[in-house]
Every structure is written in C-alpha cells, then in structure tokens.
Amino acid sequence: MTLLAALTTGDDLPGAVAAGEHTLSRHELLGWACTIAASLSAENGQTTVAVDAQPGLPTIAAITGALLAGVPVVPVPPDAGELERAHILRDSQATLILSDNPGAAGASGVPTLSISDQKRPGTMPQKEPEAQRPALVLYTSGTTGPPKGVVISRKALAAGLDALADAWQWTPEDTLVHGLPLYHVHGLVLGVLGPLRLGGWLRHTIKPTPERYASTPGTMYFGVPTVWSRVANAPEAARALKPARLLVSGSAPLPSPVFETIKELAGQAPVERYGMTETLITVSARADGERRAGHVGTPLAGISTRLVDENGQPLPADGTTIGHLQVTGPTLLDGYLRGDTIEPPALDDGWFPTGDVATIGADGWHRIVGRASTDLIKTGGYRVGAGEVEDALLLHPAVREAAVIGTPHADLGEQITAFVVTERVTASSVTPEELISFVAHRLAAHKRPRVVRLVGELPRNGMGKVQKKLLPSL
C-alpha cells in the first residue's frame, strides 16, 4: 500500500481538505501536489527540501508533493527565530525551501520556490518511492541543546498510522478537525498524513480555539492539553462537540480536572495517547475501550514497552513502580541527521530509551510520570512523580495551572517546588501555605510541596508544553 493511499489510489473514497475558509477536493490537492513533485524532481541534486509550515493549504500541498516525489521534507516552524531557522536549514542541508514568502529562507541563502505558483493539475509520479526511504526530518524542541533532526521513514509513518486506525477505528467516513501546527507529529503526521492515508475529510481551523472547534462539524477532534483546557473553560463550545465520536489529547499530560470537565460537558472523556518525535505514537487508549484520567492507554499493535531502572534492569509492571520507559517496534526513527549521514539511535538491545519515566499496570495501562530529567524527583530517599503532585494542586478551586519540579535542598537532595497560576477570582484568598496543606491532606506527607510560588503564567513552547527548565528563573 502506498503511503498516501487514500489520496493517490482511493478513487471511490470520500474526502477533501479544508483550511480556514478554503477547500480543496481530493483531486485538486493531488493535482497541486503532483505539480510540486515534478518541480522537485526537476531540481538537480535535490536531496532534502524544507517547507515553511504556515497553517493552511499551501503547506499541506507542499509536504504532500515532496512525499510524492520521494524527497525528504523538513517542516520549518513559521514562528522560528532567525537563529533556529538558520540552524534547521543549515543542519538539514536543505537545497530548497517551499514557501509563498520570498524571505522565508532568511539569511541562509537557500533558494525559495513559491508553493502557490505550482497550483495547477500535474501528473502522478510513475512509481511509489521505496518504503524504507526517509520521508520526514522533524526537528526536536531543543530543550537539551540545538534542535536535532529526527529522520522518519515512509514505512514507519505507514505503520504508525495503521496502528492508530486500528485503535481509534479511524475510517474514510471520519471528518478530522484540528488547528494544530503543521510541523510536529501530532498536527502533521496524525493530523494531515492520517486523512491522506486513511481517507475522510480534514478540516484545519488554522487556530485551535474553542470557538472554531465548536463551529466546525467533525467526528474526530485533536488537541493538546492547552486546547482542551480552553475548551473546558468554554462550556458552550465543549457541549457543541457532543456529536463527535472521538476527542484526542496528546503531546503533554492532560490534567485530570480538564479530563473530567470535558467528559461532563462533551459527553465523553478524551482519548489520551503517548509518543514522541523519535517513536511516533506508541501507546493509546482505544476508541471502544476504557478511558482513565492520568493514563495514556496500552501499546499499539506492533509496539512493545518495558520499564527499567537506572542500571537497565527490568522493573515490574505493577502499576506503582516508577521506571524509565523503553519502547520498540516498527515506528522508531531511522536516526538523527548528522551532515551527509544518518546516525542510528542508541538502542538498548533494540529498545529505544524515551527519556520518560512511567508506571505500567498489570493490565498494560501506562501512566506517564514525565521526563526523567525534570519530573522524577528524588527527595529524602523517596521517588516522587511531579505529575501526581500537579494533579493534586489542580483539585484546589483557586488553581488554574501548576508545574512541579525538584530544586536543590541541602538535606533532602531535592525538594518539591510548585509553580502555580491561580484563578483571578479566588487568587487573593489563597496562600502558598494553604496549597501545601491542601496537597499534604491528599497525598503522602513526603509528596507535599516544600515551596509554592504563585506566578502569572507558566513558560510554554509552541505545542503548549511547559518548559520546566525555565521555571527556576521565574
């Protein structure tokens, strides 16, 4: 089966693509993408192309065209700063950037090809590129240094989307609605390539606001926790999603209070899933199964997971033991881009170390504690997951957002430190001491925060993830 099967071979399948107020039929998108593919093939020495990933139909057409041509494509965040953009273009060795903005390449000197100038019917490439060829080079967020180019093959994309189709009962009859960025796994791989492989409609709202979600009919809605939190705070918008069959949350943990509010207002709990750039999606709740607050489900078809300790020794799947999560399966990256070569990932006997810590229950359900570097707090001989403390804080009516980290402590090694954003209405009535006591009454004493700092907002990246490494400077 070809990578974009529904687009290229599904003549009898319904579907089209809409972004904002603009719509393309499946045949119109295919023609535009084929013209782009022909332009890329005609470029001498074309090995990797970048796409200025502005939200909208031109980005979808450009990435589709590059995939049809078999040329690895690098989506560049439209809000990337000058240094980040220059790093991505230089590191990927992109020889062309597809954009309707002539200045998209910045000072890099990379030539620009207008996407909209290619908007005319084209001819399909004669053959499907080989399955093992690199398809995407996705750059990580760069939290531990300059962003790294993660190379994902065509077969990994196909395996990941087919596994999600099975878990989510995703069919050509579905209409997917989202407004997520088009340069990450969630918004691009799941949110664009999913419908192009599996069929159905894609309606991109350009921005993921509650009002736009509520006014766009669909059967599936994708969002990150920030999106669902805003939907939960807009009851009429949440109720408008009742006709949908699936609400999916990912890219960061969904706070339990948001989970419960969406469940009450929209008539169903969100499906949570887990993955990362290097592995695509590996664990998820199922459309026809249970949904548990604070948990991300069970491994997808073809995926295996395990927990290990700091020495790489296996840990029990008992639902309480916290360990380092490792995964293996057909969705793993080919490696990291290193000049003209792809450096294979450092695997542990075939297992990919995710860098996350988790628990796995006897029934296979996973709870992600967080990043090992920031969310596993070792305090006074105890191992505490930051997410559990955050969930407890969010139960307080005055707390709107909470982020917990370990900070140095002379006696404990690390002390649990919470950064809290309060609701404006009740902010004047809550104190750090009250919040510490609130948690102490709900969790074990050693899990209570030693320090609570009330802040105006939490630092987040483009996908809504809290940047915990920035918290100590608040």
Confidence of residue 426 (pLDDT cuts 50, 70, 90): low
Residue bearing the bigger pLDDT, 467 or 56: 56
Angle between helices 225-232 and 256-266 (to 10 degrees): 50
Residue bearing the bigger pLDDT, 137 or 144: 137
Query: How large is the average pLDDT for residues 161-177?
Result: 97
Tokens of 26: 């499946």
Query: How large is the average pLDDT for residues 291-299?
Result: 95
User: Is 15 a residue whose pLDDT tops 90?
Assistant: no
| 370 within 8 A of 356, measured Cβ to Cβ | yes
Query: How large is the average pLDDT for residues 63-89?
Result: 91
Tokens of 71: 């040329």
Instruction: Tell if the pTM clears 0.95, that is, is over it.
Output: no
How high is the pLDDT of residue 1?
62
List domains and CATH numbers for the chain.
5-368 (3.40.50.12780), 374-473 (3.30.300.30)
CA 141 – CA 470 distance, rounded (Å)? 14
Work out the widest C-alpha separation in the chain, in whole angstroms.
69
Confidence of residue 216 (pLDDT cuts 50, 70, 90): very high
pLDDT tens string 230-281: 999 999 999 999 999 999 999 888 888 899 999 999 999 999 999 999 999 9
How high is the pLDDT of residue 142?
54
Confidence of residue 73 (pLDDT cuts 50, 70, 90): very high
**Helix/strand/coil (H/E/C) assignment for every residue in 397-421:** CCEEEEEEEEEEECCCEEEEEEEEE
How high is the pLDDT of residue 467?
87
Most confident of 40-44, 135-139, 367-371, 437-441: 135-139
How high is the pLDDT of residue 247?
98
Listed in sequence order, the residues at least 6 apart from 8 whose beta carbon sits closer than 8 Å to its beta carbon are 2, 30, 68, 124
Query: How large is the average pLDDT for residues 314-325?
Result: 94
Residue with tokens 């639902």: 319
Question: Could you tell me where the beta strands, DSSP code E, fall in 220-372?
Answer: 220-223, 246-249, 271-276, 280-284, 298-299, 304-308, 323-328, 335-338, 341-343, 352-360, 366-371
Mean pLDDT is lowest, of 78-92, 102-116, 144-158, 421-435, for 421-435
CA 283 – CA 300 distance, rounded (Å)? 5
CA 22 – CA 60 distance, rounded (Å)? 12
Cα 317 to its chain centre, rounded Å, is 26
Whole-angstrom Cα Rg for the chain: 22
How high is the pLDDT of residue 127?
87
| 65 within 8 A of 36, measured Cβ to Cβ | yes
Query: How large is the average pLDDT for residues 180-202?
Result: 96
How high is the pLDDT of residue 365?
98
Confidence of residue 373 (pLDDT cuts 50, 70, 90): confident
User: Is 92 a residue whose pLDDT tops 70?
Assistant: yes
User: Is 296 a residue whose pLDDT tops 70?
Assistant: yes
Q: Mean pLDDT, the chain, as a whole number?
A: 91
User: Is 434 a residue whose pLDDT tops 90?
Assistant: yes
User: Is 391 a residue whose pLDDT tops 90?
Assistant: no
How many other CB atoms sit within 10 Å of the CB of residue 387? 19
How high is the pLDDT of residue 44?
42
Residue with tokens 């039929």: 25
